[in-house]
Amino acid sequence: MNIVVCVKYVPDTQAERTFNASDNTTDRVNVDGLLSELDEYAVEEALKIVEAGEGVVTVVTVGPAQASDALKKALQMGADKAVHVIDDAIHGSDALATSLVLAKAIEKVGMPDLVLTGMSSTDGIMGVVPTMLAERLGLPAVTFASDLTVGADSVTARRDGDAASQTIEAALPALVSVTDQINEPRYPSFKGIMAAKKKPVETWGLADLGLSADEVGLDAAWTKVTAFEARPPRQQGTIVKDEGDGGGKLASFLAERKFI
Amino acid sequence: MADPTTQTPLELFGTEALIDAEDRAIRDSVRAMLATQVRPHLAEWFDSGQVPARELSLELGRLGLLGMHLEGYGCAGTSATAYGLACLELEAADSGIRSLVSVQGSLAMFAIHRWGSEEHKRQWLPRMATGEAIGCFGLTEPDFGSNPAGMRTYAARVGSRDGADWVLSGTKMWITNGSIADVAVVWAATDDGIRGFLVPTDTPGFSAPAIKGKLSLRASVTSELVLDEVRLPASAMLPLARGLSGPLSCLNEARFGIIFGALGAARDCLEVTLDYVAHRQIFDKPLSAYQLTQAKLADMTLELGKGMLLALHLGRLKDAGTLRPEQVSLGKLNNVRESLAIARECRTLLGANGITVDYPVLRHANNLESVLTYEGTSEVHQLVIGQALTGQPAFR
């Protein structure tokens, strides 16, 4: 089974994340970045599927030069090969354009049996690219899978909601986005880290995908960030001094905020 | 609440930039594994003096830690610097865990890899790399530590023909992994000088009682090896090692890992202490706001950073194949001595809290007391350096 996993290089959630002052886009260059944690679940799921049978796992990313770090991590975990779509014109692309570039890249890789993605990025947190991508590729979209079983020509996924868990079946080829409940991503073994050095990474530009600069990027985006401001520092918490009435004060504090 | 602009000691030194991406990835994997598989249990293991070493070995092997810097036979073949950085993370958890890995990889597996026959390597190394088989290394004896040449363990040839069996008798002491090992690399005097033997631990006459009552390295198995007329085939001898240079080459490997490892213990102490002093209030302000505290923190940071720079430098020399044994002595002497001093100083900042297993500082300090004298005591390393400087051997 051939699987393509779409991954994203995102600013480390532990780092001081910021935006570019010139165009309000996410700063991906001056902030430490890594493979989006939510995408690690998709990589892990792909590896488990292939390890239980056979096949090739290809990871695809769209991003600046630093995004090769995300691919490298996926290769270290065990993916077989990687594709990095990099083009200055892509800077500032919205979800629609990202899904367009990913779709073209996946078509160029060769239509796989299964496309896996994370449930969302940890920076944009929109979670819409998987469905857009499925639409562009003409694939059934199974989103937010917390369990996945792959058969010969179909997949069965469990989708946990607040009220019920749905079991969904889709014919292959299909696109499945996975949640952080689906597995426990491995950390790369030393052999995986050593082997990753020798794995193929293709680098494609827009022209390689038959796309032109005016189809992507900030100017083509349907949505734009018009302004941003840093979150104000957290206010110091209220300290209740117990003068024999501490319990009452705590209770009224909680009641005022409708916690009790 | 610590100011978000504060830096960790090693961030202050900027040593991260000196580590290449692959070595960092290896280091990060070790850190991630330890965070879930080891750290949550350490206080209990140390307190009880019981460590599930066999299960732990499988976990360490799965990641690729065992014999990681050896080539082939199921080993990952990483750089020496990566091995050092892995030791640093392991010892930031506990010296006992690092000792398990050091003894398996640098002493037992290295001895087989460097001095063993092709058959030895095929028989043992792949299973030792996965952690299914555990090795130990017997050089030190109850009465012979810094002077191993005086060893009493003796291997006698049964008859004089080629291919005749050996019979080993003697006692080895302070042997990490001894009681849980599947194979012991035992160094013994013969009529032909000191030779190494691979002793399967189920061989009749071999026993390895655990040493009890340790106040240091409690999360580690330490044993005595008793060889009571252990009969071995001729093929049990490591064919390529002749004389003390065999075991000493292995010790040199393990010492290299300690150069980095000890710093891990120191880093852990310092990180815990920085957090503690930020939150501990004394006379209505944090302990971190006092000048005497800051003087201690600054001095400890200097020694940690200097030790890290030395370790990384020696790592590069080892990767280039030019590291000399006396340079290993520089690193082992300095970094263990300074790490022990840091652990003790951190204890002073934690006050009484520092003496329990709730904080790692006295556990690290107690562990480092062993690290200070094993794999060559500080004094022996001083003498190695002294000889390099003066040309005068002053060991005896």
Judgement on whether residues B271 and B229 belong to the same structural domain of the protein:
no
Mutate to test the interface with B, among A37, A40, A193 (most CBs of B within 10 A): A193
Query: Is B395 domain-assigned?
Result: no
B15-24 as b/e: b if 16+ CB within 10 A: beeebeebbe
Interchain contact A224–B (C-beta under 8 A): no
**Cross-chain residue pair A190–B32, CB shorter than 8 Å:** no
Judgement on whether residues B198 and B256 belong to the same structural domain of the protein:
no
Q: Report DSSP state, residue A207.
A: G
Residues with Cβ within 8 Å of A180's Cβ and at least 6 positions away in sequence, in order, are A37, A38, A41, A119
Residue at which a domain ends, from B243, B260, B280 = B243
**Cross-chain residue pair B22–A193, CB shorter than 8 Å:** yes
**Long-range contacts: A213-216, Cβ < 8 Å, 24+?**
A213/A87, A213/A89, A215/A97, A215/A100, A216/A87, A216/A89, A216/A90, A216/A93, A216/A97, A216/A100, A216/A101
Shortest distance, CA B125 to any CA of chain A (angstroms): 15
Banded model confidence at residue A31, pLDDT cuts 50, 70, 90: confident
Interchain contact B21–A (C-beta under 8 A): yes
Confidence at residue B389, expressed as pLDDT on a 0 to 100 scale: 98
Query: What is d(CA B285, CA B281) in angstroms, rounded to the nearest whole number?
Result: 5
Judgement on whether residues B125 and B257 belong to the same structural domain of the protein:
no
Mean pLDDT of A52-63: 96
Judgement on whether residues B149 and B122 belong to the same structural domain of the protein:
no
Backbone angles phi, psi at B298, to 5 degrees: -65, -45
**Domain range for residue B38?**
9-130
Measuring CA to CA, which residue among A96, A103, A99, A90 is closest to residue A64? A90
Query: Is B122 domain-assigned?
Result: yes
A190 neighbourhood in chain B, CB within 8 Å: 26, 29, 63-65, 68, 76, 78, 82
Measuring CA to CA, which residue among B385, B375, B395, B377 is closest to residue B98? B375
Query: Is B353 domain-assigned?
Result: yes
Judgement on whether residues B98 and B197 belong to the same structural domain of the protein:
no
Q: CB-CB: which of B21, B32, B68 is closest to A190?
A: B68
pLDDT higher at A118 or A231: A118
A72 neighbourhood in chain B, CB within 8 Å: 21, 25
Residues with Cβ within 8 Å of A183's Cβ and at least 6 positions away in sequence, in order, are A41, A44, A45, A48
Judgement on whether residues B200 and B252 belong to the same structural domain of the protein:
no
CB of B300 within 8 A of CB of B292?
A: no
Shortest distance, CA B18 to any CA of chain A (angstroms): 16
Judgement on whether residues B342 and B386 belong to the same structural domain of the protein:
yes
Provide the β-strand partners of residue A176: A116, A142
Query: Is B2 domain-assigned?
Result: no
Domain ranges of chain A: 2-220
Mutate to test the interface with A, among B22, B33, B70, B87 (most CBs of A within 10 A): B22
Measuring CA to CA, which residue among A139, A124, A6 is closest to residue A67? A6
Please check whether the domain covering A2-220 is classified as CATH 3.40.50.620: yes
B63: nearest CA partner in chain A? A189
Interchain contact A190–B (C-beta under 8 A): yes
Helix, strand, or coil (residue B188):
strand
Catalytic center residues of B: 375
| Ordered alpha helix ranges (H), A113-229 | 129-137, 190-196, 217-220
Interchain contact A230–B (C-beta under 8 A): no
Residue at which a domain ends, from B108, B130, B152 = B130
Question: Which of 33-72 (B) contact A at CB < 8 A?
Answer: 33, 62-65, 68
- Average pLDDT per 10 consecutive residues for chain B, totaling 396 residues: 74 95 94 95 95 96 96 95 98 97 96 97 98 97 92 91 91 96 97 96 97 96 97 96 94 94 98 97 96 98 98 97 96 98 98 96 97 95 98 95
Query: Is B13 domain-assigned?
Result: yes
Query: What is d(CA A204, CA A107) in angstroms, rounded to the nearest whole number?
Result: 13
| pLDDT at A125 exceeding the cut of 90 | no
Interchain contact B11–A (C-beta under 8 A): no
Amino acid at A161: G
Backbone angles phi, psi at B258, to 5 degrees: -70, -30
Mutate to test the interface with A, among B28, B58, B69 (most CBs of A within 10 A): B28
Backbone angles phi, psi at A101, to 5 degrees: -65, -45
Query: Is B73 domain-assigned?
Result: yes
B27: nearest CA partner in chain A? A190
Judgement on whether residues B141 and B103 belong to the same structural domain of the protein:
no
Interchain contact B26–A (C-beta under 8 A): yes
Judgement on whether residues B210 and B262 belong to the same structural domain of the protein:
no
Return the CATH number at B235.
Answer: 2.40.110.10
Read off the tokens for B314: 């020696």
Return the CATH number at B69.
Answer: 1.10.540.10
A76 neighbourhood in chain B, CB within 8 Å: 25
Judgement on whether residues B230 and B266 belong to the same structural domain of the protein:
no
How many of the other CB atoms lie within 10 Å of CB of B297? 19
Measuring CA to CA, which residue among B66, B48, B65, B34 is closest to residue B182? B66
CB of B318 within 8 A of CB of B311?
A: no
Domain count, chain B: 3
Confidence at residue B2, expressed as pLDDT on a 0 to 100 scale: 46
CB of A167 within 8 A of CB of A157?
A: yes
**A68-77 vs A37-52: helix crossing angle, rounded to 10:** 40
Measuring CA to CA, which residue among A89, A95, A103 is closest to residue A215? A89
Confidence at residue B1, expressed as pLDDT on a 0 to 100 scale: 42
Query: What is d(CA B187, CA B117) in angstroms, rounded to the nearest whole number?
Result: 16
How many of the other CB atoms lie within 10 Å of CB of B54? 13
Read off the tokens for A207: 């022209």
Judgement on whether residues B238 and B279 belong to the same structural domain of the protein:
no
Confidence at residue B337, expressed as pLDDT on a 0 to 100 scale: 98
Confidence at residue B334, expressed as pLDDT on a 0 to 100 scale: 98
Amino acid at B236: A
Confidence at residue A260, expressed as pLDDT on a 0 to 100 scale: 83
How many of the other CB atoms lie within 10 Å of CB of A29? 11
Confidence at residue A77, expressed as pLDDT on a 0 to 100 scale: 97
Shortest distance, CA B366 to any CA of chain A (angstroms): 31
User: pTM value?
Assistant: 0.88
Query: What is d(CA A50, CA A57) in angstroms, rounded to the nearest whole number?
Result: 7
CB of A99 within 8 A of CB of A129?
A: yes
**Cross-chain residue pair B64–A191, CB shorter than 8 Å:** yes
Lowest mean pLDDT among A45-49, A240-244, B212-216: A240-244
Query: Is B365 domain-assigned?
Result: yes
**Cross-chain residue pair A189–B64, CB shorter than 8 Å:** yes
CB of A148 within 8 A of CB of A50?
A: no
Residue at which a domain ends, from B95, B130, B165 = B130
Interchain contact A72–B (C-beta under 8 A): yes
- CA B2 → CA A51, B252, B278, B284, B350, distances in Å? 45, 41, 6, 16, 17
Query: What is d(CA B233, CA A164) in angstroms, rounded to the nearest whole number?
Result: 67
A74: nearest CA partner in chain B? B25
Query: Is B1 domain-assigned?
Result: no
Cα Dmax for chain B: 82
